[in-house]
């Protein structure tokens, strides 16, 4: 009677109360609230106990894996639906997922659910607790062993142990929600294989791809190692007594390097007659003297090596791609360099050059052959004044084409170009041009090259050689093939993904666009907006143009470009590189400018003290001050070097200012203050500068060909030179009679053999080939009287006779020779 009313209320309240009761039963089954229902339902379970005891281990085994499935049920509500429908045939196996589903519980009967759950749950809790205890003990034992071993090895092991623990927690939290902590071990093993693997792969890929910080850390570490190595080298050098210094270090830095007190260095300088302060920069000569006094040898290194601690980025081999070879065309004037490029580019470049002479370094990119392979050509001027530009061209080039005219010979400039290429280690390809001209002798050129120990392939050597005609195009395709062959052997590669580095070929000031620099990208990719530094100038790339004047957004390796945006005109040959930020670029540029100013100040002071002071002591020293302005920096520098080389012992040529751009009022004022001449090369003065120059009396000389400038300055220097005095023989007289006249002295009757003698002619008396008068230094033989038939005459020509009286000399004998000469002033010339 008690069982019927107990069964009736759940049937009536199935839609409302039955669901809640079942849910509570599930929670109790998952938790530890099992004893309460067990006590109530013991009488019903007693008859079933003997039957279910033997199969007790059977359900316990499958129930162990089903326990985590109970946790997964809320996430996957639809999957157990078919299992719940099968509740009447299989009560023991299917009733466990049923309590998790609310819809299925409504159909199931409460007593059946309660009875089955009690039996199964008792076995699960006991078996799981034992297994978990064993696993926990094993894990603890392993962790103890691992931590003990790591603590004994090193302190770094502790950090690794902490990391492993953190990973376990992270993986546990990544598992699904509010499960019991005791089941972490099993959950992790299952979930890692399904969900976390993808997440971990994504995380590791993200770390690998976006690892900018790690790269910077690695670069910083490498730079620290390099600094440490440099410091060790310095210490070794200090122990050996050899100092590595820049040419303009301060007194304090020199004292630190020698490990002596700075006052000792200042005292040493005072003993040498030089007053210095603690922060004053010393020149090379003084550094050597002071170091020698303290027992050190000095080795000078470049200032840039000390100034810039560049973090050299090691390119990943996977990022390297083949790049176009950079080819420099070098040779003598008018041997056909520009004509060769003109033919290759199919444009008339030579017509635009003044006098047919290339004034600037031209960079051109051309496509060759059917494969459209690119070659970057640099056209360097051939005359001697541009030696410095040609040397810079050899620094940036991969292959040098030496062009020689077949109707000429190997000229000095050609030899110089060959020596530049050999010194730079650049492979050479020889092009013998003008083979279509009458009188062409290509074999003679090869013979001259062989005399210089340069054997071409035709003669069994290693150097490629091709006979060409730049006018007709004969042999030029074969020449290009040989250039590409040499380039292929070099395996030229670059990384377009890195920041750009390269060299400045020339720089100029454009009225509408500001400072324009022609740059050659050697590695990386230069893009608009990149902050860059070149020499003493920095800026952001505002615009870029290719050699045809077309705007481009980026320039890859081996590409010549015009760059706008620099703060000034860098020197031709300066290196440029892209920095991380514009402020960093400006900071580096200002450091370079400061060192350059200090070096220039120190260098000019040394010249003025040593050279000019010594020359002024001679009393004949003169100076020619010049201001050089040009359209591009390469021309300005080359012209300045050529003019400075004109300096002589008694005339010093000083280029007091050189710059790129128009001649302006400030240049005229500087020239007026320093008595200088302004030389403009391919530039013109502004209207205000021209008027100011006329008012101040400043001379402005304008040139478009460098030869004219050098010749005129040479003439000006020659005009400043003191003329030299030379003797010139004007006549020879033979003494045939001697007359002794009282009150007059001895008069020689002579026959004029050649020339013409006058009253003002200086004479010397020669007897038997020996000068007997005048013999004293500074004494000049003068004519006292010149007569012909008792009449005084002004001159006597050859073939006539005359009477000659010599002042203060009477020992004249028959047979003597009277030699007449005059002293002529001859202008000095610069050879």
CATH number of the domain enclosing 822: 2.40.30.10
Phi, psi of 822 (to 5 degrees): -135, 155
Q: Is residue 141 part of a domain?
A: no
Shortest CA distance to 445 belongs to which of 386, 397, 404, 503? 404
Do 546 and 670 lie in a common domain?
no
Report the distance separating Cα 563 and Cα 553, nearest Å. 11
Contacts of 64 (CB under 8 A, 6+ apart): 124, 127, 128, 131
Q: Is 375 a residue whose pLDDT tops 60?
A: yes
Strand partners of residue 155: none
User: Six-digit token pair at 236?
Assistant: 């070794």
Long-range contacts of 284-291 (CB under 8 A, 24+ apart): 284/247, 285/606, 287/245, 287/247, 287/249, 287/254, 290/254, 290/265, 291/243, 291/254, 291/258
Report the distance separating Cα 754 and Cα 354, nearest Å. 52
Q: Is 83 a residue whose pLDDT tops 80?
A: no
Do 481 and 506 lie in a common domain?
no
Do 337 and 284 lie in a common domain?
no
Q: Is 763 a residue whose pLDDT tops 50?
A: yes
Q: Worst-scoring range by mean pLDDT, 206-220, 256-270, 395-409, 465-479?
A: 206-220
Rounded mean pLDDT of 733-745? 87
Identify the pLDDT of residue 306.
Answer: 43
Report the distance separating Cα 564 and Cα 81, nearest Å. 73
Do 528 and 671 lie in a common domain?
no
Shortest CA distance to 568 belongs to which of 627, 505, 633, 656? 633
Report the distance separating Cα 606 and Cα 602, nearest Å. 6
Q: Is 702 a residue whose pLDDT tops 80?
A: yes
Q: Is residue 199 part of a domain?
A: no
Strand 531-534 versus strand 537-545 pairing type: antiparallel
User: Six-digit token pair at 538?
Assistant: 């920095």
Q: Is 736 a residue whose pLDDT tops 80?
A: yes
Q: Is 802 a residue whose pLDDT tops 90?
A: yes
Domain residues for the domain of 654 are: 620-720
Q: Is 441 a residue whose pLDDT tops 60?
A: yes
Phi, psi of 662 (to 5 degrees): -70, 155
Rounded mean pLDDT of 254-279? 84
Rounded mean pLDDT of 17-27? 54
Other Cβ atoms within 10 Å of 617 Cβ, number: 8
Which is higher by pLDDT, 192 or 600?
600
Report the distance separating Cα 760 and Cα 777, nearest Å. 20
Q: Is residue 313 part of a domain?
A: no
Do 740 and 792 lie in a common domain?
yes
Name the H helices within 491-621. Answer: 582-607, 613-618
Q: How far is CA 702 from the centre of its chain?
A: 35
Contacts of 697 (CB under 8 A, 6+ apart): 672
What is the DSSP-derived secondary structure letter of residue 570? Answer: P
Identify the pLDDT of residue 752.
Answer: 92
Other Cβ atoms within 10 Å of 507 Cβ, number: 26
- Per-residue pLDDT reduced to its tens digit, 530-588: 898 988 888 998 988 887 778 888 888 888 888 888 888 887 777 888 888 888 888 88
Identify the pLDDT of residue 166.
Answer: 43
Q: Among 494, 512, 536, which residue terminates a domain?
A: 494
Do 480 and 418 lie in a common domain?
yes
Do 338 and 436 lie in a common domain?
yes
Report the distance separating Cα 599 and Cα 35, nearest Å. 96
Do 258 and 331 lie in a common domain?
no
User: Six-digit token pair at 687?
Assistant: 């209207």
Identify the pLDDT of residue 731.
Answer: 93
Q: What's the domain count of the chain? A: 6
Rounded mean pLDDT of 121-148? 65
Report the distance separating Cα 701 and Cα 709, nearest Å. 8
User: How sure is the predictor about 60, in pLDDT bands with cuts at 50, 70 and 90?
Assistant: very low
3-state secondary structure of 772: strand
Q: Is 263 a residue whose pLDDT tops 80?
A: yes
Q: Is residue 626 part of a domain?
A: yes
The reply to whether omega before 794 is within 30° of 0 (cis) is no
User: How sure is the predictor about 735, in pLDDT bands with cuts at 50, 70 and 90?
Assistant: very high
Do 329 and 453 lie in a common domain?
yes
User: How sure is the predictor about 625, in pLDDT bands with cuts at 50, 70 and 90?
Assistant: confident
Are 457 and 463 a contacting pair, CB within 8 Å?
yes
Report the distance separating Cα 29 and Cα 23, nearest Å. 10
Report the distance separating Cα 800 and Cα 787, nearest Å. 12
Which is higher by pLDDT, 608 or 820?
820
Report the distance separating Cα 201 and Cα 639, nearest Å. 64
Q: Is residue 664 part of a domain?
A: yes
Report the distance separating Cα 70 and Cα 28, nearest Å. 13
User: How sure is the predictor about 710, in pLDDT bands with cuts at 50, 70 and 90?
Assistant: confident
Q: Among 702, 720, 738, which residue terminates a domain?
A: 720
Q: Is residue 831 part of a domain?
A: no
Identify the pLDDT of residue 38.
Answer: 44
Give the domain CATH number at 643.
Answer: 3.40.50.10050
User: How sure is the predictor about 819, in pLDDT bands with cuts at 50, 70 and 90?
Assistant: very high
Phi, psi of 696 (to 5 degrees): -85, -10
Shortest CA distance to 563 belongs to which of 610, 519, 597? 519
- Per-residue pLDDT reduced to its tens digit, 220-233: 777 788 777 777 77
Q: Is residue 523 part of a domain?
A: yes
Mean pLDDT computed over every residue of the chain = 72
Shortest CA distance to 624 belongs to which of 714, 734, 515? 714
Question: Measured between alpha carbons, how far is residue 126 from residues 129, 131, 136, 138, 638 in Å?
Answer: 5, 9, 16, 19, 97
Do 740 and 658 lie in a common domain?
no
Do 676 and 762 lie in a common domain?
no
- H or E segment and range at residue 651: strand 651-660
Q: Is residue 389 part of a domain?
A: yes
Q: For the chain, how far is it from start to end, CA to CA, in angstroms?
A: 142
Q: Among 307, 333, 354, which residue terminates a domain?
A: 307
Q: What percent of the chain has pLDDT over 90?
A: 6
Report the distance separating Cα 228 and Cα 226, nearest Å. 5
Do 250 and 122 lie in a common domain?
no
- Per-residue pLDDT reduced to its tens digit, 289-320: 888 888 888 877 754 444 444 445 666 677 78
Residues 469-487 as b/e (b if ≥16 CB within 10 A, e otherwise) read bbeeeebbeebbebbbebb
Q: pTM score > 0.85 for this model?
A: no
Identify the pLDDT of residue 810.
Answer: 87
User: Six-digit token pair at 407?
Assistant: 């109707």
Q: Is 347 a residue whose pLDDT tops 80?
A: no
Burial class, 154, CB count within 10 angstroms (exposed 0-12 / middle 13-18 / buried 19+): exposed
Are 19 and 105 a contacting pair, CB within 8 Å?
yes
- H or E segment and range at residue 799: none
What is the DSSP-derived secondary structure letter of residue 723? Answer: P
Which is higher by pLDDT, 317 or 504?
504
User: Six-digit token pair at 494?
Assistant: 């670059």
Rounded mean pLDDT of 202-226? 66
What is the DSSP-derived secondary structure letter of residue 731? Answer: E
Contacts of 449 (CB under 8 A, 6+ apart): 410, 430, 455, 456, 463
Name the E strands within 434-549. Answer: 464-467, 493-494, 501-510, 514-523, 526-527, 531-534, 537-545
Q: How far is CA 256 from the centre of its chain?
A: 30
Phi, psi of 556 (to 5 degrees): -85, -170
User: Six-digit token pair at 654?
Assistant: 């000083």
Report the distance separating Cα 250 and Cα 14, nearest Å. 98
């Amino acid at each position: 009677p008690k069982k019927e009313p107990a069964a009736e209320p759940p049937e009536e309240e199935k839609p409302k109360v039955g669901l809640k009761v079942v849910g509570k039963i599930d929670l109790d089954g998952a938790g530890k609230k099992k004893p309460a229902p067990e006590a109530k339902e013991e009488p019903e379970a007693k008859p079933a106990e003997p039957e279910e005891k033997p199969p007790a281990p059977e359900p316990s085994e499958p129930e162990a894996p089903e326990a985590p499935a109970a946790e997964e049920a809320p996430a996957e509500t639809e999957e157990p639906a078919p299992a719940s429908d099968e509740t009447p045939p299989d009560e023991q196996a299917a009733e466990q997922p049923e309590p998790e589903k609310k819809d299925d519980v409504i159909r199931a009967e409460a007593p059946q659910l309660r009875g089955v759950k009690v039996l199964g749950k008792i076995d699960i809790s006991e078996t799981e607790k034992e297994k978990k205890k064993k696993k926990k003990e094993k894990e603890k034992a392993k962790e103890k062993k691992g931590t003990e071993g790591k603590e004994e090895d090193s302190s770094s092991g502790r950090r690794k142990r902490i990391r492993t623990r953190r990973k376990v927690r992270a993986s546990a939290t990544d598992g699904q929600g509010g499960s019991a902590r005791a089941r972490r071990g099993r959950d992790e093993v299952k979930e890692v294989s399904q969900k976390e693997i993808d997440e971990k792969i994504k995380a590791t890929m993200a770390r690998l791809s976006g690892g900018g910080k790690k790269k910077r850390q690695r670069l910083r570490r490498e730079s620290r190692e390099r600094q440490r190595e440099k410091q060790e080298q310095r210490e070794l050098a200090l122990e050996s007594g050899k100092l590595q210094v820049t040419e303009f270090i301060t007194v304090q830095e020199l004292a630190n390097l020698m490990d002596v007190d700075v006052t000792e260095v200042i005292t040493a300088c005072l003993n040498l007659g030089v007053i210095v302060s603690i922060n004053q920069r010393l020149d090379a000569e003084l550094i050597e003297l002071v170091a020698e006094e303290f027992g050190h040898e000095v080795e000078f290194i470049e200032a840039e090596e000390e100034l810039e601690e560049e973090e050299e980025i090691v390119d990943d081999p996977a990022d390297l791609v083949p790049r176009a070879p950079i080819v420099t065309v070098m040779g003598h004037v008018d041997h056909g360099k520009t004509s060769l490029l003109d033919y290759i580019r199919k444009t008339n470049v030579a017509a635009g050059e003044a006098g047919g002479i290339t004034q600037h370094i031209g960079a051109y990119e051309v496509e060759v052959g059917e494969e459209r392979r690119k070659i970057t050509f640099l056209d360097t001027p051939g005359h001697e004044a541009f030696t410095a530009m040609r040397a810079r061209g050899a620094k940036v080039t991969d292959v040098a084409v030496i062009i020689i005219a077949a109707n000429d010979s190997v000229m000095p400039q050609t030899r110089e170009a060959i020596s530049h290429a050999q010194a730079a280690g650049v492979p050479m390809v020889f092009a013998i041009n003008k083979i279509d001209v009458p009188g062409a002798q290509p074999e003679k050129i090869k013979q001259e090259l062989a005399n210089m120990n340069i054997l071409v392939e035709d003669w069994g050597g290693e150097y490629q050689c091709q006979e060409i005609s730049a006018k007709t195009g004969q042999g030029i395709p074969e020449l290009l093939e040989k250039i590409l062959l040499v380039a292929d052997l070099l395996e030229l590669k670059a990384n377009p993904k890195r920041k750009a580095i390269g060299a400045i070929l020339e720089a100029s000031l454009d009225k509408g666009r500001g400072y324009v620099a022609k740059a050659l990208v050697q590695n990386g990719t230069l893009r608009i907006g990149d902050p860059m530094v070149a020499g003493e100038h920095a800026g952001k790339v505002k615009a870029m143009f290719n050699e045809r004047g077309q705007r481009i957004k980026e320039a890859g390796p081996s590409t010549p470009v015009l760059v706008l945006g620099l703060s000034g005109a860098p020197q031709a040959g300066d290196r440029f590189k892209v920095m991380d930020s514009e402020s960093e670029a400006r900071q580096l540029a200002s450091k370079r400018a400061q060192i350059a100013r200090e070096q220039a100040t120190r260098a000019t002071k040394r010249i003025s003290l040593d050279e000019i002071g010594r020359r002024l002591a001679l009393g004949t020293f003169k100076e020619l001050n010049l201001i050089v302005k040009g359209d591009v920096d390469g021309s300005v520098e080359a012209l300045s070097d050529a003019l400075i080389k004109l300096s002589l012992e008694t005339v010093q040529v000083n280029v007091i200012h050189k710059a790129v751009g128009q001649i302006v009022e400030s240049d005229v004022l500087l020239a007026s203050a320093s008595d200088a001449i302004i030389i403009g090369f391919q530039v013109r003065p502004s209207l205000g500068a021209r008027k100011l120059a006329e008012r101040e009396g400043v001379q402005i000389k304008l040139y478009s060909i460098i030869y004219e400038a050098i010749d005129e300055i040479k003439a000006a220097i020659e005009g400043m030179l003191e003329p030299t005095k030379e003797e010139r023989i004007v006549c020879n007289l033979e003494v045939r009679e001697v007359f002794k006249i009282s009150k007059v002295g001895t008069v020689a009757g002579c026959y004029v053999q050649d020339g013409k003698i006058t009253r003002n002619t200086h004479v010397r008396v020669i007897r038997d080939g020996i000068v007997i008068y005048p013999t004293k230094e500074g004494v000049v033989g003068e004519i006292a009287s010149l007569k012909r038939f008792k009449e005084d005459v002004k001159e006597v020509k050859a073939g006539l006779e005359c009477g000659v009286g010599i002042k203060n000399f009477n020992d004249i004998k028959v047979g003597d020779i009277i030699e007449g000469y005059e002293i002529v002033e001859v202008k000095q010339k610069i050879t």
